[in-house]
Amino acid sequence: MANILYGVNGEGAGHSTRAREVLSHLVARGHNVHVASFDRGLRNLKEQFDVTEIYGFRFAYVNNRVRYKRTIAKNLITVPQAARSLSRLKDLVEEWKTDLVITDFEPLTCHVGHKKDLPIISIDNQHCLTNAVVSYPKQYRRDAAAAKLVTRLMTPRASAYLVISFFTAPIKKRNTFLFPPLLRQEILDAVPTQGDHVLVYVTSPAPALAKLLSSLRCRFIAYGFDREGKNEAGNILFKKPSLDGFFADLISARAVVANSGFSLVTEALHLGKPYLAVPVSHQFEQVFNAYWLQKAAYGAYWEELNKERVESFLYNLPHYQEALAQYPRQGNGALLAKLDALIAGYTGA
Protein backbone atom coordinates (compact mmCIF):
# COMPACT_ATOMS: atom_id res chain seq x y z
CA MET A 1 0.00 0.00 0.00
CA ALA A 2 1.43 3.38 -1.05
CA ASN A 3 0.59 6.95 -0.06
CA ILE A 4 -0.03 8.75 -3.34
CA LEU A 5 -0.53 12.42 -4.24
CA TYR A 6 -2.52 12.64 -7.50
CA GLY A 7 -2.56 16.02 -9.29
CA VAL A 8 -5.41 16.56 -11.76
CA ASN A 9 -5.60 19.50 -14.16
CA GLY A 10 -9.05 21.06 -13.72
CA GLU A 11 -9.26 22.84 -17.09
CA GLY A 12 -12.22 21.21 -18.83
CA ALA A 13 -13.70 17.87 -17.84
CA GLY A 14 -11.39 15.46 -19.69
CA HIS A 15 -8.59 15.24 -17.14
CA SER A 16 -10.89 14.48 -14.21
CA THR A 17 -12.98 12.03 -16.26
CA ARG A 18 -10.00 9.78 -16.98
CA ALA A 19 -8.42 10.43 -13.56
CA ARG A 20 -11.58 9.04 -11.92
CA GLU A 21 -10.95 5.67 -13.58
CA VAL A 22 -7.33 5.57 -12.39
CA LEU A 23 -8.23 6.80 -8.90
CA SER A 24 -10.94 4.15 -8.51
CA HIS A 25 -8.40 1.51 -9.51
CA LEU A 26 -5.79 2.78 -7.04
CA VAL A 27 -8.28 2.90 -4.15
CA ALA A 28 -9.48 -0.61 -4.99
CA ARG A 29 -5.84 -1.76 -4.85
CA GLY A 30 -5.64 -0.44 -1.28
CA HIS A 31 -3.53 2.67 -1.82
CA ASN A 32 -4.08 5.87 0.18
CA VAL A 33 -4.70 8.54 -2.45
CA HIS A 34 -4.94 12.31 -1.92
CA VAL A 35 -6.09 14.35 -4.93
CA ALA A 36 -5.10 17.96 -5.69
CA SER A 37 -7.16 19.80 -8.31
CA PHE A 38 -9.21 22.88 -9.14
CA ASP A 39 -12.27 24.03 -11.09
CA ARG A 40 -13.93 21.12 -12.98
CA GLY A 41 -11.53 18.59 -11.48
CA LEU A 42 -12.42 19.68 -7.97
CA ARG A 43 -16.17 19.60 -8.67
CA ASN A 44 -16.09 16.26 -10.48
CA LEU A 45 -13.96 14.36 -7.96
CA LYS A 46 -14.63 15.80 -4.50
CA GLU A 47 -17.69 13.68 -3.73
CA GLN A 48 -15.88 10.40 -4.36
CA PHE A 49 -12.29 11.14 -3.29
CA ASP A 50 -10.25 13.18 -0.82
CA VAL A 51 -9.57 16.34 -2.85
CA THR A 52 -7.55 19.43 -1.86
CA GLU A 53 -8.23 22.59 -3.86
CA ILE A 54 -5.16 24.18 -5.43
CA TYR A 55 -4.42 27.02 -7.83
CA GLY A 56 -4.86 26.12 -11.49
CA PHE A 57 -3.72 27.70 -14.74
CA ARG A 58 -6.74 28.55 -16.91
CA PHE A 59 -7.14 29.63 -20.53
CA ALA A 60 -9.38 32.57 -21.40
CA TYR A 61 -11.83 31.95 -24.26
CA VAL A 62 -13.71 34.53 -26.34
CA ASN A 63 -15.92 33.43 -29.26
CA ASN A 64 -14.53 29.87 -29.15
CA ARG A 65 -10.94 31.12 -29.42
CA VAL A 66 -8.07 31.14 -26.92
CA ARG A 67 -7.05 34.71 -26.09
CA TYR A 68 -3.43 34.60 -24.90
CA LYS A 69 -3.10 38.18 -23.62
CA ARG A 70 -6.24 37.78 -21.54
CA THR A 71 -5.03 34.36 -20.39
CA ILE A 72 -1.71 35.81 -19.20
CA ALA A 73 -3.39 38.73 -17.44
CA LYS A 74 -5.93 36.44 -15.80
CA ASN A 75 -3.24 34.16 -14.40
CA LEU A 76 -0.77 36.86 -13.36
CA ILE A 77 -3.41 38.25 -11.01
CA THR A 78 -3.56 34.93 -9.17
CA VAL A 79 0.20 34.28 -8.74
CA PRO A 80 -0.04 34.71 -4.92
CA GLN A 81 -2.67 31.96 -4.86
CA ALA A 82 -0.29 29.62 -6.70
CA ALA A 83 2.46 30.32 -4.15
CA ARG A 84 0.09 29.59 -1.27
CA SER A 85 -1.07 26.35 -2.92
CA LEU A 86 2.52 25.24 -3.40
CA SER A 87 3.42 25.95 0.21
CA ARG A 88 0.36 24.10 1.48
CA LEU A 89 1.04 21.09 -0.75
CA LYS A 90 4.58 20.81 0.61
CA ASP A 91 3.22 20.68 4.15
CA LEU A 92 0.54 18.15 3.22
CA VAL A 93 3.05 15.86 1.50
CA GLU A 94 4.98 15.73 4.78
CA GLU A 95 1.79 15.16 6.79
CA TRP A 96 0.56 12.40 4.46
CA LYS A 97 4.01 10.75 4.30
CA THR A 98 3.63 10.69 0.52
CA ASP A 99 5.60 7.99 -1.32
CA LEU A 100 4.79 8.89 -4.91
CA VAL A 101 3.26 11.59 -7.13
CA ILE A 102 1.00 10.92 -10.11
CA THR A 103 0.09 13.92 -12.25
CA ASP A 104 -2.38 14.41 -15.08
CA PHE A 105 -0.85 17.55 -16.60
CA GLU A 106 -0.91 19.34 -13.23
CA PRO A 107 2.33 21.25 -12.53
CA LEU A 108 2.18 22.07 -8.79
CA THR A 109 2.11 18.44 -7.67
CA CYS A 110 4.96 17.67 -10.07
CA HIS A 111 6.98 20.57 -8.63
CA VAL A 112 6.39 19.39 -5.06
CA GLY A 113 7.39 15.87 -6.06
CA HIS A 114 10.74 17.14 -7.32
CA LYS A 115 11.27 19.27 -4.19
CA LYS A 116 10.65 16.21 -1.98
CA ASP A 117 12.68 13.90 -4.27
CA LEU A 118 9.69 11.60 -4.89
CA PRO A 119 9.05 9.36 -7.92
CA ILE A 120 6.68 11.09 -10.39
CA ILE A 121 4.43 9.30 -12.89
CA SER A 122 2.82 11.42 -15.61
CA ILE A 123 -0.43 10.24 -17.25
CA ASP A 124 -1.72 12.39 -20.11
CA ASN A 125 -2.15 12.69 -23.87
CA GLN A 126 -0.16 15.92 -24.25
CA HIS A 127 3.25 14.23 -24.10
CA CYS A 128 2.52 12.39 -27.34
CA LEU A 129 3.63 15.63 -28.99
CA THR A 130 7.02 15.75 -27.22
CA ASN A 131 7.83 12.09 -26.49
CA ALA A 132 6.75 10.39 -29.74
CA VAL A 133 7.56 10.82 -33.43
CA VAL A 134 4.50 12.61 -34.84
CA SER A 135 3.57 14.89 -37.70
CA TYR A 136 1.29 17.93 -37.93
CA PRO A 137 0.44 20.60 -40.53
CA LYS A 138 3.48 22.76 -41.36
CA GLN A 139 1.55 26.00 -41.01
CA TYR A 140 1.21 25.27 -37.28
CA ARG A 141 4.96 24.97 -36.58
CA ARG A 142 4.98 28.06 -34.37
CA ASP A 143 1.94 26.92 -32.40
CA ALA A 144 3.47 23.43 -32.12
CA ALA A 145 6.70 24.87 -30.72
CA ALA A 146 4.71 26.81 -28.11
CA ALA A 147 2.66 23.72 -27.22
CA LYS A 148 5.82 21.62 -26.83
CA LEU A 149 7.35 24.24 -24.54
CA VAL A 150 4.22 24.39 -22.36
CA THR A 151 4.06 20.57 -22.21
CA ARG A 152 7.69 20.32 -21.09
CA LEU A 153 7.19 23.03 -18.45
CA MET A 154 4.00 21.56 -17.02
CA THR A 155 5.37 18.19 -15.85
CA PRO A 156 9.12 18.06 -16.44
CA ARG A 157 11.51 15.19 -15.63
CA ALA A 158 8.92 12.61 -14.59
CA SER A 159 10.20 9.17 -13.64
CA ALA A 160 7.81 7.66 -16.19
CA TYR A 161 5.41 9.00 -18.82
CA LEU A 162 2.28 6.95 -19.55
CA VAL A 163 1.04 8.58 -22.75
CA ILE A 164 -2.45 7.89 -24.10
CA SER A 165 -3.27 8.21 -27.79
CA PHE A 166 -5.94 7.12 -30.30
CA PHE A 167 -3.23 6.43 -32.91
CA THR A 168 0.12 4.66 -32.72
CA ALA A 169 3.48 6.44 -33.01
CA PRO A 170 7.13 5.50 -32.39
CA ILE A 171 8.41 6.56 -28.94
CA LYS A 172 11.54 8.72 -28.87
CA LYS A 173 12.01 9.48 -25.16
CA ARG A 174 13.17 7.13 -22.42
CA ASN A 175 10.72 5.99 -19.73
CA THR A 176 7.77 6.73 -22.06
CA PHE A 177 5.05 4.16 -22.74
CA LEU A 178 2.17 4.52 -25.22
CA PHE A 179 -1.34 3.24 -24.40
CA PRO A 180 -4.88 3.44 -25.80
CA PRO A 181 -7.07 6.26 -24.44
CA LEU A 182 -8.33 5.99 -20.87
CA LEU A 183 -12.12 5.74 -21.11
CA ARG A 184 -14.76 5.99 -18.41
CA GLN A 185 -16.49 2.72 -17.63
CA GLU A 186 -19.84 4.01 -18.92
CA ILE A 187 -18.32 4.34 -22.40
CA LEU A 188 -16.67 0.92 -22.25
CA ASP A 189 -20.00 -0.64 -21.21
CA ALA A 190 -22.17 1.34 -23.66
CA VAL A 191 -23.97 -0.25 -26.61
CA PRO A 192 -24.12 2.54 -29.24
CA THR A 193 -27.14 3.05 -31.46
CA GLN A 194 -27.68 5.30 -34.48
CA GLY A 195 -30.44 7.87 -34.15
CA ASP A 196 -31.36 10.60 -36.61
CA HIS A 197 -29.50 13.46 -34.89
CA VAL A 198 -25.98 14.85 -35.08
CA LEU A 199 -24.53 15.87 -31.70
CA VAL A 200 -22.97 19.35 -31.58
CA TYR A 201 -20.72 20.61 -28.78
CA VAL A 202 -18.74 23.85 -28.43
CA THR A 203 -16.53 25.10 -25.59
CA SER A 204 -18.13 28.56 -25.65
CA PRO A 205 -21.25 29.97 -27.36
CA ALA A 206 -20.87 30.15 -31.16
CA PRO A 207 -23.81 32.03 -32.69
CA ALA A 208 -22.32 31.89 -36.21
CA LEU A 209 -22.27 28.09 -36.05
CA ALA A 210 -25.86 28.00 -34.81
CA LYS A 211 -26.92 30.15 -37.78
CA LEU A 212 -25.05 27.88 -40.20
CA LEU A 213 -26.61 24.69 -38.81
CA SER A 214 -30.07 26.26 -39.10
CA SER A 215 -29.64 26.33 -42.89
CA LEU A 216 -29.03 22.58 -43.18
CA ARG A 217 -31.52 19.76 -43.71
CA CYS A 218 -30.37 17.76 -40.71
CA ARG A 219 -31.45 17.36 -37.10
CA PHE A 220 -28.98 18.57 -34.48
CA ILE A 221 -28.82 18.37 -30.67
CA ALA A 222 -26.51 21.12 -29.48
CA TYR A 223 -24.67 21.76 -26.21
CA GLY A 224 -22.51 24.71 -25.14
CA PHE A 225 -24.54 27.49 -26.78
CA ASP A 226 -25.90 28.84 -23.48
CA ARG A 227 -29.50 28.47 -24.59
CA GLU A 228 -32.32 25.94 -24.43
CA GLY A 229 -35.14 24.89 -26.72
CA LYS A 230 -35.57 24.71 -30.50
CA ASN A 231 -34.38 27.22 -33.06
CA GLU A 232 -36.82 28.95 -35.45
CA ALA A 233 -36.13 26.47 -38.25
CA GLY A 234 -36.91 23.64 -35.84
CA ASN A 235 -33.89 21.51 -36.75
CA ILE A 236 -31.71 22.32 -33.72
CA LEU A 237 -32.56 21.37 -30.16
CA PHE A 238 -30.37 23.37 -27.79
CA LYS A 239 -29.75 21.83 -24.38
CA LYS A 240 -28.21 23.06 -21.14
CA PRO A 241 -25.25 21.11 -19.68
CA SER A 242 -26.19 17.65 -18.41
CA LEU A 243 -23.82 14.70 -17.98
CA ASP A 244 -26.56 12.11 -18.33
CA GLY A 245 -28.31 13.93 -21.17
CA PHE A 246 -25.09 14.45 -23.11
CA PHE A 247 -24.08 10.82 -22.61
CA ALA A 248 -27.42 9.57 -23.95
CA ASP A 249 -27.26 11.92 -26.95
CA LEU A 250 -23.68 10.83 -27.71
CA ILE A 251 -24.54 7.12 -27.54
CA SER A 252 -27.42 7.54 -30.01
CA ALA A 253 -25.90 10.13 -32.39
CA ARG A 254 -25.33 9.62 -36.12
CA ALA A 255 -22.18 11.71 -35.88
CA VAL A 256 -20.50 14.48 -33.87
CA VAL A 257 -19.68 18.09 -34.77
CA ALA A 258 -17.53 19.61 -32.03
CA ASN A 259 -14.31 21.12 -30.85
CA SER A 260 -11.56 18.51 -30.73
CA GLY A 261 -10.73 18.00 -27.08
CA PHE A 262 -9.07 14.64 -26.52
CA SER A 263 -11.72 13.06 -24.27
CA LEU A 264 -14.73 13.72 -26.49
CA VAL A 265 -12.82 12.68 -29.62
CA THR A 266 -11.71 9.38 -28.11
CA GLU A 267 -15.13 8.59 -26.64
CA ALA A 268 -16.81 9.27 -29.98
CA LEU A 269 -14.29 7.13 -31.88
CA HIS A 270 -14.72 4.24 -29.45
CA LEU A 271 -18.49 4.44 -30.02
CA GLY A 272 -18.03 4.50 -33.79
CA LYS A 273 -19.25 8.08 -34.32
CA PRO A 274 -17.81 9.98 -37.32
CA TYR A 275 -16.38 13.29 -36.11
CA LEU A 276 -16.32 16.72 -37.73
CA ALA A 277 -13.69 18.58 -35.72
CA VAL A 278 -13.56 22.37 -35.37
CA PRO A 279 -10.50 23.04 -33.18
CA VAL A 280 -10.62 25.96 -30.76
CA SER A 281 -8.60 28.66 -32.51
CA HIS A 282 -4.98 28.93 -31.30
CA GLN A 283 -5.21 25.77 -29.18
CA PHE A 284 -2.69 23.50 -30.85
CA GLU A 285 -3.62 20.36 -28.92
CA GLN A 286 -7.05 20.46 -30.55
CA VAL A 287 -5.54 21.05 -34.01
CA PHE A 288 -3.25 18.07 -33.39
CA ASN A 289 -6.17 15.81 -32.42
CA ALA A 290 -8.22 16.98 -35.40
CA TYR A 291 -5.35 16.44 -37.83
CA TRP A 292 -4.78 12.84 -36.71
CA LEU A 293 -8.51 12.13 -36.66
CA GLN A 294 -8.74 13.18 -40.31
CA LYS A 295 -5.48 11.38 -41.18
CA ALA A 296 -7.04 8.13 -39.92
CA ALA A 297 -10.23 8.79 -41.98
CA TYR A 298 -12.40 8.80 -38.85
CA GLY A 299 -13.83 12.18 -39.82
CA ALA A 300 -12.85 15.61 -41.08
CA TYR A 301 -11.59 18.87 -39.67
CA TRP A 302 -11.82 22.52 -40.64
CA GLU A 303 -10.74 25.69 -38.88
CA GLU A 304 -14.00 27.26 -40.02
CA LEU A 305 -17.19 25.65 -41.22
CA ASN A 306 -19.49 26.58 -44.04
CA LYS A 307 -22.57 24.89 -45.48
CA GLU A 308 -20.64 22.97 -48.15
CA ARG A 309 -18.15 21.56 -45.63
CA VAL A 310 -20.83 20.31 -43.26
CA GLU A 311 -22.84 18.84 -46.13
CA SER A 312 -19.70 17.11 -47.45
CA PHE A 313 -19.08 15.60 -44.01
CA LEU A 314 -22.66 14.33 -43.78
CA TYR A 315 -22.47 12.89 -47.31
CA ASN A 316 -19.28 10.98 -46.43
CA LEU A 317 -20.58 9.42 -43.20
CA PRO A 318 -20.56 5.87 -44.69
CA HIS A 319 -16.85 6.29 -45.58
CA TYR A 320 -15.97 7.36 -42.03
CA GLN A 321 -18.08 4.58 -40.52
CA GLU A 322 -16.21 2.03 -42.60
CA ALA A 323 -12.87 3.27 -41.22
CA LEU A 324 -14.24 3.36 -37.68
CA ALA A 325 -15.27 -0.28 -37.94
CA GLN A 326 -11.52 -1.05 -37.79
CA TYR A 327 -10.83 1.28 -34.84
CA PRO A 328 -9.00 -0.70 -32.09
CA ARG A 329 -11.40 -0.73 -29.13
CA GLN A 330 -9.42 -1.56 -26.02
CA GLY A 331 -10.03 -1.11 -22.32
CA ASN A 332 -7.91 0.55 -19.64
CA GLY A 333 -6.26 -2.66 -18.46
CA ALA A 334 -2.84 -2.29 -20.12
CA LEU A 335 -2.17 1.17 -18.68
CA LEU A 336 -3.44 0.24 -15.21
CA ALA A 337 -1.26 -2.89 -15.15
CA LYS A 338 1.81 -0.81 -16.08
CA LEU A 339 0.90 1.74 -13.40
CA ASP A 340 0.66 -1.04 -10.78
CA ALA A 341 4.09 -2.32 -11.80
CA LEU A 342 5.64 1.14 -11.62
CA ILE A 343 4.17 1.85 -8.17
CA ALA A 344 5.48 -1.48 -6.91
CA GLY A 345 8.89 -0.77 -8.41
CA TYR A 346 9.18 2.75 -7.02
CA THR A 347 7.71 2.15 -3.56
CA GLY A 348 7.72 -1.59 -2.94
CA ALA A 349 3.96 -1.39 -2.35
Same domain (yes/no): 147, 97: yes
Same domain (yes/no): 29, 124: yes
Residue 332 backbone zone (phi > 0: left; psi -120 to 50: alpha; other: beta): alpha
Same domain (yes/no): 172, 29: yes
**According to the model, what pLDDT value does residue 186 have?**
94
**According to the model, what pLDDT value does residue 158 have?**
97
**According to the model, what pLDDT value does residue 248 have?**
97
Q: Specify the pairing of strand 275-277 against strand 255-258.
A: parallel
Q: What does pLDDT average to over the chain?
A: 91
**According to the model, what pLDDT value does residue 73 have?**
47
Same domain (yes/no): 103, 226: no
Q: How many domains does the structure of the chain reveal?
A: 2
Same domain (yes/no): 122, 192: no
Q: Tell me: the pLDDT tens digits for 81-102?
A: 777 888 889 999 999 999 999 9
Same domain (yes/no): 298, 341: no
Question: 242, 264, 256, 126: which is closest to 187 by C-alpha?
Answer: 264
In whole angstroms, what is the distance from residue 37 CA to residue 71 CA? 19
Same domain (yes/no): 45, 170: yes
Average pLDDT of 260-276? 97
Same domain (yes/no): 135, 178: yes
Q: Tell me: the pLDDT tens digits for 209-237?
A: 999 999 999 999 999 999 999 999 999 99
Same domain (yes/no): 202, 86: no
Q: How confident is the model at residue 204 (pLDDT cuts 50, 70, 90)?
A: confident
Same domain (yes/no): 13, 57: yes
Same domain (yes/no): 63, 124: yes
The CATH number of the domain where 117 resides is what?
3.40.50.2000
Q: How confident is the model at residue 153 (pLDDT cuts 50, 70, 90)?
A: confident
Q: Tell me: the pLDDT tens digits for 307-335?
A: 999 999 999 999 999 999 999 999 999 99
Q: How confident is the model at residue 76 (pLDDT cuts 50, 70, 90)?
A: very low
More confident residue, 81 or 266: 266
- Domain that includes residue 253, residue range: 186-324
pTM of the model: 0.90
Question: 111, 61, 75, 72: which is closest to 282 by C-alpha?
Answer: 61
Question: 17, 8, 4, 10: which is closest to 262 by C-alpha?
Answer: 17
**According to the model, what pLDDT value does residue 59 have?**
56
Question: Which percentage of the chain shows pLDDT scores above 90?
Answer: 77
* 106 contacts 9 by C-beta, under 8 angstroms: yes
Same domain (yes/no): 277, 308: yes
Question: 126, 174, 176: which is closest to 146 by C-alpha?
Answer: 126
Question: 162, 155, 188: which is closest to 336 by C-alpha?
Answer: 162
Average pLDDT of 31-58? 91
Average pLDDT of 278-305? 93
- Over 80: is that where the pLDDT of 154 sits? yes
Q: How confident is the model at residue 46 (pLDDT cuts 50, 70, 90)?
A: very high
Q: How confident is the model at residue 13 (pLDDT cuts 50, 70, 90)?
A: confident
**According to the model, what pLDDT value does residue 340 have?**
98
Q: How confident is the model at residue 68 (pLDDT cuts 50, 70, 90)?
A: very low
